[in-house]
């Protein structure tokens, strides 16, 4: 969808175009954050999209996909293994 302002477009047409543009953001992360932390992050992401993309907050959809620490790996070690190694 082309949301650029074109000569002759009025504010109603621009607003209508913005309202139909639905950015959908998926965040993949290890489990362990509180609901309050996740809600705060989603609010911040929403505001960033409103500011930088010019979309209405009502159009923004955000989904968090959480993985158990034993199902997420970095550097060849699960996050459980990494946490255990950090304690040593």
CB of 59 within 8 A of CB of 19? Answer: yes
CB-based contacts of 83: which residues, under 8 Å, 6+ apart?
Answer: 69
From 17, 18, 21, 23, the catalytic residue: 23
68 is catalytic: no
CB of 46 within 8 A of CB of 61? Answer: no
Q: Which residues are catalytic?
A: 23
């Amino acid at each position: 969808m082309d949301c650029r302002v074109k000569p002759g477009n009025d504010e109603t047409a621009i607003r209508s175009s913005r309202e139909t543009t639905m950015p959908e953001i998926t965040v993949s992360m290890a489990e362990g954050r509180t609901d309050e932390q996740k809600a705060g992050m989603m609010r911040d992401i929403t505001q960033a999209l409103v500011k930088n993309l010019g979309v209405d907050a009502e159009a923004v959809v955000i989904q968090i996909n959480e993985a158990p620490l034993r199902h997420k790996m970095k550097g060849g070690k699960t996050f459980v293994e990494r946490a255990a190694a950090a304690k040593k």
